[in-house]
Amino acid sequence: ADMDLFGDLRRMNKRQLYYQVLNFAMIVSSALMIWKGLIVVTGSESPIVVVLSGSMEPAFHRGDLLFLTNFHDDPIRAGEIVVFKVEGRDIPIVHRVIKVHEKGNGNIKFLTKGDNNEVDDRGLYKEGQNWLEKKDVVGRARGFLPYVGMVTIIMNDYPKFKYALLAVMGAYVLLKRES
């Protein structure tokens, strides 16, 4: 089967191959531009995140896609769902704000907890940290699409699936005939 594939590629003229590669590059750069645009519009470095754990059920389930904004003038309120980063952890956490302390100078400290968790998040924060501050927040949930992010979870859980998917997509782009 491998020989057929290479024969096909050889028969396809160089111009067509070049065209397909350019086409692919256009798709990738468009996606990046849209992503950058979203970052600017939403004020969040990660405007879209996938829920990876069940800690927020039943509000959000694994695989739900969340849309975030992060406007600094917006006050953080108890009951809001925030996405925050903790030092020493790569993946941001999506949890609900349960307590807010506002100081006179406008500084805010707050505590979070997963709806489905027994205890608050102090065990997740870095050692000696009891509260989150605004600088820890990546964004705040503004809307979601259920289960759309399952593909991301499958790719995280089964790395081989990711490579298979990329191979299939690559082959499709290269071999797609102009109809």
Enumerate the active-site residues. Answer: 55, 95, 121
Q: How far is CA 69 from the centre of its chain?
A: 13
Contact call for residues 69 and 43 (beta carbons, < 8 A): yes
Number of H helices, E strands in the chain: 4, 7
HSE-up (13 A, CA, CB side) for residue 30:
6
For residue 45 the two structure tokens come to 């470095």
Q: Phi and psi for 42 in degrees, rounded to 5?
A: -90, -15
d(CA 31, CA 36): 9
Q: How far is CA 100 from the centre of its chain?
A: 26
- Torsional class of 113: left (φ above 0), alpha (ψ -120 to 50), beta (otherwise): beta
